[in-house]
Amino acid sequence: MKQRTWPDRSTGSRFTALQFPITEKDNRRPELTASARKARIKRRSRFSCSRSIKSTEGHDFASLPFDVLNKIAASFTLPQLRAASLVCKSWNDALRPLREAMVLLRWGKRFKHGRGVRKNLDKALDSFLKGAARGSTLAMVDAGLMYWEMDKKEAAISLYRQAAVLGDPAGQFNLGISYLQEEAVKWLYQASIAGHVRAQYQLALCLHRGRGVDFNLQEAARWYLRAAEGGYVRAMYNTSLCYSFGEGLPLSHRQARKWMKRAADCGHGKAQLEHGLGLFTEGEMMKAVVYLELATRAGETAADHVKNVILQQLSATSRDRAMLVVDSWRAMPSLH
Residue 158, Cβ density class (10 Å: 0-12 exposed, 13-18 middle, ≥19 buried): middle
Q: Among 104, 101, 61, which Cα is nearest to 80's? A: 101
- Whether the model clears a pTM of 0.85, i.e. scores above it, the answer is no
The structural domains of the chain, with segments of one domain joined by +, span: 92-166, 267-331
Residue 259 neighbours by CB distance under 10 Å: 26
- 11-15, 292-296, 308-312: least confidently modelled range: 11-15
What phi and psi values does residue 21 have, to the nearest 5 degrees? -65, 150
Count CA atoms closer than 13 A to 191's CA, side-chain side: 31
Give residue-wise pLDDT tens across range 62-99. 666 767 777 888 888 888 888 888 887 888 888 888 89
Alpha helix positions (H), 15-136: 34-54, 66-72, 78-85, 89-94, 96-113, 121-133
- Residue 82 class from Cβ within 10 Å (0-12 exposed, 13-18 middle, 19+ buried)? middle
Q: Quick one: average pLDDT of 234-259?
A: 97
Query: Rounded to an integer, what distance in angstroms lies between the CA atom of residue 71 and that of residue 73?
Result: 5
The answer regarding whether domain 92-166 maps to CATH 1.20.5 reads: no
- Over residues 188-224, the pLDDT tens digits come to 999 999 999 999 999 999 999 887 788 999 999 999 9
Q: What is the pLDDT of residue 45?
A: 44
Q: What is the pLDDT of residue 15?
A: 35
Per-residue pLDDT tens over the stretch 28-71: 445 556 555 555 544 554 444 444 444 444 455 566 676 777 78
Task: Quick: pLDDT tens for 102-155.
Answer: 999 999 999 998 989 999 999 999 999 999 999 999 999 999 999 989 989 889
Tell me which of 95 and 238 has the higher pLDDT.
238
Residue 232, strand partner residues: 335
b/e map 221-238, b = 16+ CB within 10 Å: bbbbbbbbebbbbbbbbb
Distance CA 177, CA 292 (A): 34
